[in-house]
Structure 1
Amino acid sequence: MKMFKWYWDFLKKYKFKMALGLMLTLLVSLMQLINPYIEGTIIDRVLIKGEVGVLIPLLSIIIGVTVFRCIVKFGYQMMYEHISQDLIFKMREEIYCHLQNQDFNFFDTTRTGDIMARLTGDIDAVRHFTAWVIYNVFDNFLTFTFAVVMIFFVNAKMARILLAITPIIAVVAYKMTNTVRPSFFAIREQFSKLNSVVQENISGNRVVKAFAKEEYEIEKFSRQNELFKEKNLDSSRIWEKYLPVLEFFASMLSIVLIIVGGIMVIRKNLTLGELVIINGYIWALNNPLRMAGWLINDIQRFFASIDRLINLVNEEPKIKNPKHPIQKEKVRGFVEFENVSFCYRDIPVLKNISFEVHPGQTVAIVGPTGSGKSTLINLICRFYDCNSGKIRIDNVDIKDMDKKELRDNIAASMQDIFLFSDTIEGNISYGNPNASMKQVQWAAQVADAHEFIESFPEGYDTIIGERGVGLSGGQKQRIALARALLKNPSILILDDTTSSVDIETEYKIHKTLKPFCENKTTFIIAHRISSVKNADLILVLNHGKIVERGTHGELLQKRGYYYDVFKNQMGDFDVSAVGEVC
């Protein structure tokens, strides 16, 4: 029932068009009964009784009814197609908007291929149901019902004999419905898995080729493809079991009519014209019964698809906006962590993190891989919620702030760089689409990207491949940095932003960043001491805890983890001129 309610929420906008379409379907179903009756009349009156004068009018009626019926049928079929396209347009749009509201938790646990399968194959199953199945179910039901009435009108005895077979068909159809439904659910799930394998392979094609794993990927795809084939064959075996039975009993109607009807004509209990009329209506009994199996398949496919779509829509984001958010259109940048702890899938990542950062200060976060550096930054943006403790910006708990306003005040150049398949200008101006070309170029210059961008034949209009394919790691990092700078945020996050550039380029970037960062709260995550040594506060994370904190000089005096990293990178001498940070 929940499935139909969700579906009806989209369909009800077109309820008057649907009603008109069903009325036209009713009209066509009634018109289908006219020609067989006239054909029988021609047999009795023209061929047997010799009333030649009525032949032309009766033939004219047959031709007129056929032409008019075809026009009306084409009209309502086009109407249903338009309704279905409008409906899935709205459905796709709503699901896509729902996906935009999902948080990192959802995308961490949901395969991209599964989402794509739902937005393509499952949506198309809904379109097919709306455009074709609905009116066909109605049409076949009406056609069968009207045919039974007309056969009773012509000869009640023959009608009762023919109808004696239909309960058997109904039982077979019911059993098929219950058997085939789980099969379609299994097909849709396996299609999602197959889609995921293809999506991952295409996205990671460079890794595949770098490790010469083409054969392995083909084998992996073949396994999923084989399973998908088996699921479809399982469904086909159900059809093989039930559809021939439906076909057999549907065909029995014609055999019964020929045998019993012939005997009745010989005994004068039925005229030849009446036999022709009933024979003309046999298709109206046969066709719906034959179509029953295919319509059941399509209905069950619709149920499987709509169920998967509803499960996607019902997936609620864990990070929700407060009902009455505190308005903060522009923050100053005071950031405070108070005893913050965070677990990811029940695994402790951060433990009792506390520190304060004042507007205009720069905080560097260093530590070994997996110590929780990027996670800490993700909590500031509220990509995840901490399990305990509080995070405040300008003395307001970020859980009490509007998510969009919070993130509008933060710009991040993340460790996992993503560039869109767009122009370089489009990628840089992504966070500030109204920026002028002059502003875009300024951001690129600060990020030391302007020079290499200008070296491309198309300059800033150069289309870069998906995820920045075609650019080096350092070039992608600098474009991502320019994108963050152009947003002009109150809080700037640089997560391993210069790890792929050489020392000289890093020095130039830090030097140009210094005046930009003077009035902003800046977080820097880096492994190079040269990137963090001039920060106002350096936090050293290890196993999710702050094990050291202080300035560069203070941490060197403690001779702990930071000192060891410094010694490994710089040796025994102080290189104070290596670079400057914000």
Structure 2
Amino acid sequence: MIIEFFKSRWKHYLIGVLFLVLIDYLQILVPKYIGNVVNLVIKPPVDLSVIFKYVILIVFIAGGVVIGRFIWRMLIVGSARKFQVYIQQKLFEKFLKSPIAFFDSTSVGNLMAYYTNDVQAVSQMLSQGIIMTVDAIAMTAFVFGGMLMVVDIRLVLISLIPLPFVALSSWYFGGKIHQRFKMVQNDFSFISERAQESFSNIKTIKSYGVENEFNRLFKETCDKFARDNFILLRISAVYGPLISFLAALTMAIAIFLGGQMVISGSVNLGDFIAFISYLGMLTWPFVAIGQVINVVQMGRASHERIDALMNTPERDDGGMDFPGRFQTLEIKDLDFSYNEKKVIKNLSLKIQAGQKVAIIGKIGSGKSTIAKLMTKLYTVEDGKIFYNGVDINRISAKSLRDNVLLVPQESFLFSTKISQNIAFGLKEFSDDEVEGASKVAHFHEEVVKFEEKYDTLVGERGVTLSGGQRQRLSLSRGIFKDAQVIILDDVLSAVDSQTATLILQDIEKEFKDMTKIVITHNIASIKNSDIIFVIDDGRIVESGDHDELMKLNGLYHRLFMIQQIEREIEK
């Protein structure tokens, strides 16, 4: 990603680096001019016009440095900010293209850590990392060049004493910083995960009175983050001052030996002052090396994490368009496993256009998994699922979902208006269409009770709505889509059986040509289905209409009788 980004911004970085080098060159002229002024002052008569000329030059250099710094900061730091936006967009695109299985094994907190700490660390590497690297190299080269012009070679050699120690320290501490920062980033991911999980389930936590337990778990996570951070801090705290100490030691040696040369007359005072100024300027490159190692190693660690994420397999969106009008859906001898646990076993079924189909079974029997496989949320082997005789793996995911809509049992709502939640994904829509879909789902009578009606904000995750209202809003969204096949995955579990039956009857009246697949455990709402598939332990154990299944006196009959008894008890 970095190389791809540099291809579009290399001119900005190049110009920024050139201005940075130019500023470094201008700065090393100042000590030379100051040394010349000192030499003029200590050897009367003093020519004030010459001194004034040097003063004007120094002022112009200062002005040039100000302008140049503004330019390179805008170009280099500005490009790094662009990269931050670029990489965040790339990450978001990656998440959208990733298969559902990726999100099953990756927490939201971990994903958010990529967006915050990791992106920030890489951005710092591409701004401060580049600036300090170029600045340190250019300044070091120019300073040594300036020294050679004004002082004895022996003093210049003295200033080189710390370089081998700086290189050795950078190699040793750099590796440790890299390793430790990756650990710190992983710890931060766990903190984000723990916080997100707790905040999302705060009602459950309070209902069960386990605040202290969750507080203890979060504290343990934070303590580990703090411990690893302190270890990283100790490494950086030793490394940075060590580099500064080497620079100060060089200055002390230079002053001692250089002072003797001035006393002996082998070096004049002005040149020695220039040399000390140059040596002071050389302190920054030494310090910058320490800082740049920190920044680059942290950036590298974060880039490795992001790069590993970007290289995870993506959902295959290639393929043909959905093959015309829906005619048949056929599943043949399908097996499917989650993490080596088989949940669908040798399952076969066939659905015809216009049918009202029900899939029922006990909790955990595999009903929802079938729905996800029908809509390509998980990948199956070739030759297992067919639409109009075409293998599902040959049909693009987008085209398939435009024609076969799954309304999931998790009625997730967005923090926006009711109307925008129903017309999900569309910028422009008519109020009549939204209201029509809402009426079919028996949600309209609830909406008109709100003061703002369809402009009512539902709050985060639909917090202002009841469970039944959230499900009916989610169903309204599915009805609004008007697909050829609609799969309702237990979307009316929070609605009473009488209302659920009325809703399904209205859907049948409104969309006679639409193929409807209802996944539920509520038999009363699907008794009039054309065909009912009974699932148990990932297998179809019975199939037929209501009367046929009741005559079999099998699992369907037992579930029906249990639900009848439960309703009698409720009455």
TM range (shorter): over 0.9
Shift of 1:145: 1.2
Q: Equivalent residues in 2 for 1:94-109 (5 A)?
A: 94-109=90-105
Code of the residue aligned with 2:26 in structure 1: it is M
Deviation (angstroms), 1:321 = 3.5
The 1-side partners of 2:487 and 2:231 are apart by: 53
Q: Which position in structure 2 is the counterpart of 1:247?
A: 244
Is 1:272 aligned to residue 278 of structure 2?
A: no
- Structure 1 residue 157 displacement after superposition: 1.5
2:419 equivalent to 1:425: yes
Shift of the alpha carbon at 1:570? 2.2
Aligned residue for 2:312, secondary structure, equals coil
Is 1:89–2:85 an aligned residue pair?
A: yes
In the alignment, is the contact (CA less than 8 A) between 1:339 and 1:388 conserved in 2?
A: no
Query: Are the aligned partners of 1:360 and 1:517 in contact in 2 as well (CA < 8 Å)?
Result: no
The corresponding residue for 2:44 is 49
Q: Which residue in the other structure is 1:566 paired with?
A: 560
1:572 CA drift (Å): 12
Query: 2 CA distance for matches of 1:332 and 1:170?
Result: 69
Alignment of 1:510-521 (within 5 A): 510-521=504-515
Q: Could you tell me how far apart the structure 1 residues matched to 2:66 and 2:280 are?
A: 18
Deviation at residue 150 of structure 1 after TM alignment: 1.3
Matched position secondary structure for 1:452: helix
Find the aligned partners of 1:17 and 1:222 in 2 and give their Cα distance.
45
Whole-Å separation in 2 of the counterparts to 1:251 and 1:335: 79
Match of 2:286 in 1: 289
Which residue pairs with 2:137 in the alignment? 141
Q: Which runs of 5+ in 2 are unaligned?
A: none
User: What count of residue pairs does the alignment treat as equivalent?
Assistant: 566
Answer whether contact 2:128 2:292 (CA < 8 A) is retained. Answer: no
Q: Which amino acid aligns with 2:193?
A: S
Are residue 506 (structure 1) and residue 500 (structure 2) matched? yes
Which residue in the other structure is 2:491 paired with?
A: 497
Q: How does 1:363-402 map to 2 (within 5 A)?
A: 363-387=357-381, 389-402=383-396
Q: CA deviation at 1:433?
A: 4.8
The Cα of 1:149 is off from its aligned counterpart by 1.5
Cα contact 1:334–1:521 (8 A) shared by 2: no
SS at match of 2:227: helix
Q: Distance in 2 between matches of 1:572 and 1:63?
A: 92
Contact 2:411/2:491, CA 8 A, preserved across alignment: no
1:505 Cα offset (Å): 2.0
For 1:158, the equivalent position in structure 2 comes to 155
Using the alignment, how far apart are the partners of 1:499 and 1:58 within structure 2? Answer: 86
Shift of 1:178: 2.0
SS of 1:33's partner is helix
Letter of the aligned partner of 2:85 in structure 1? F
Which residue of structure 1 aligns with residue 60 of structure 2? Answer: 64
2:235 maps to 1:238: yes
Amino acid paired to 1:12: K
| Pairing 1:456–2:450 present | yes
Aligned pair partner of 2:217 in 217, 220, 231: 220
| Equivalent in 6, 24, 32 of residue 27 of structure 2 | 32
The runs of 5 or more residues in structure 1 that have no matched partner are: 1-5, 575-582
Aligned-partner Cα distance in 2 for 1:163–1:383: 63
Stretch moving more, 451-460 or 128-137: 128-137
Residues 401-412 of structure 1: pairs in structure 2 closer than 5 A? 401-412=395-406
Quote the offset at 1:389 in angstroms. Answer: 4.9
8 Å CA contact retained: 1:342, 1:388 = no
Q: Which moved more, 1:435-444 or 1:162-171?
A: 162-171
Contact 1:538 1:549 in 2 (8 A): yes
Amino acid at match of 1:100: L
Task: Give the counterpart letter for 2:23 in structure 1.
Answer: V
Aligned to 1:184: 181
Q: Which of 166, 169, 172 pairs up with 1:169?
A: 166
Label 1:572 to 1:62 Cα distance change in 2 as closer, same or farther (>3 A).
closer
Aligned in 2, Cα 1:573/1:51: closer, same or farther, shift over 3 Å? closer
Judge conservation of contact 1:330–1:409 (CA < 8 Å) in 2: no
Question: After superposition, what is the alpha-carbon deviation per residue over 1:186-220, rounded to whole angstroms, capped at 9, x for unaligned?
Answer: 11111111111111111111111211222222211
| C-alpha deviation, 1:471, in angstroms | 0.9
Q: Residue type of the partner of 2:291?
A: W
Residue 484 in 1 paired to residue 485 in 2? no
Contact residue 113 and residue 192 of structure 2 kept, 8 A: yes
Give the C-alpha shift of residue 50 in structure 1.
Answer: 3.4
Query: What amino acid sits opposite 2:489 in the alignment?
Result: D
Q: How far, CA to CA, are the matches of 2:445 and 2:171 in structure 1?
A: 71
Q: What is the TM-score with the length of structure 2 in the denominator?
A: 0.96
Match of 1:8 in 2: 3
Aligned-pair CA distance for 1:276: 0.4
Shift in Å at residue 248 of structure 1? 1.3
Distance 1:280 1:218, change over 3 A: same
* SS of residue paired to 2:384: strand
Tell me, yes or no, if the aligned pair for 2:418 and 2:454 is still in contact at 8 Å.
yes
1:260 aligns with 2:239: no
1:253 and 1:432, CA in 2 relative to 1: closer, same or farther beyond 3 A? closer
1:194 aligned partner: 191
Does 1:304 find its partner at 2:301? yes
Q: Cα deviations across residues 531-557 of structure 1 (Å, max 9, x unaligned)?
A: 111111111111111111111001110
Instruction: Please report how far the alpha carbon of residue 284 of structure 1 lies from its aligned counterpart in structure 2 after TM superposition.
Output: 2.1
The corresponding residue for 1:535 is 529
CA displacement, residues 248-302 of structure 1 (integer Å, 9 cap, x when unaligned):
1110122112110110001111100011000110122111112211110000010
Cα deviations by residue, 1:451-473 (Å, 9 ceiling, x for unpaired): 11111111111111222112111
Give the TM-score normalised by structure 1. Answer: 0.94
Amino acid at match of 2:67: I
> For 1:299 and 1:573, how far apart are their aligned partners in 2?
67
Structure 2 SS opposite 1:522: strand
Give me the whole-angstrom Cα distance separating, in 2, the residues matched to 1:311 and 1:390.
Answer: 32
Listed one character per residue, the Cα deviations across residues 146-174 of structure 1 (whole Å, up to 9, x for unaligned) are 11121122221210122123222221222
Identity, % of aligned positions: 30
Q: Identify the residue that residue 112 of structure 1 maps to in structure 2.
A: 108
Shift of 1:477: 0.5
Q: For 2:42, what is the secondary structure of its paired residue?
A: helix
Between the aligned partners of 1:573 and 1:106, the Cα distance in structure 2 is 41
Q: Within 2, Cα distance between the matches of 1:468 and 1:573? A: 29
Given residue 547 of structure 1, which amino acid in structure 2 is its aligned partner? V
Equivalent residues of 2:411, 2:470 under 8 A apart? yes
Paired residues of 2:15 and 2:75 also in contact (CA < 8 A): no
Distance of 2:496 and 2:538 partners within structure 1: 29
Aligned to 1:124: 120
How far, CA to CA, are the matches of 2:189 and 2:554 in structure 1?
50
Does 83-92 or 104-113 show the bigger shift? 83-92
User: Counterparts of 1:520 and 1:115 in 2: how far apart (Å)?
Assistant: 38
In the TM superposition, residue 316 of structure 1 has moved relative to its aligned partner by: 1.1
Which residue in 2 is equivalent to 1:578?
A: none
- Supply the AA of the counterpart residue of 1:292: I
Aligned 8 A contact 2:123 2:299 in 1 = no
One-letter amino acid of the counterpart of residue 232, structure 1: N
Equivalent residue for 2:353? 359
Identify which range, 424-433 or 441-450, moves more after superposition: 424-433
Verify the 8 A CA contact 1:342 1:387 in the aligned structure 2.
Answer: no
RMSD of aligned Cα (Å): 1.7
Moved segments of 4+, more than 6 Å: none
Q: Greater shift after overlay, 562-571 or 363-372?
A: 562-571
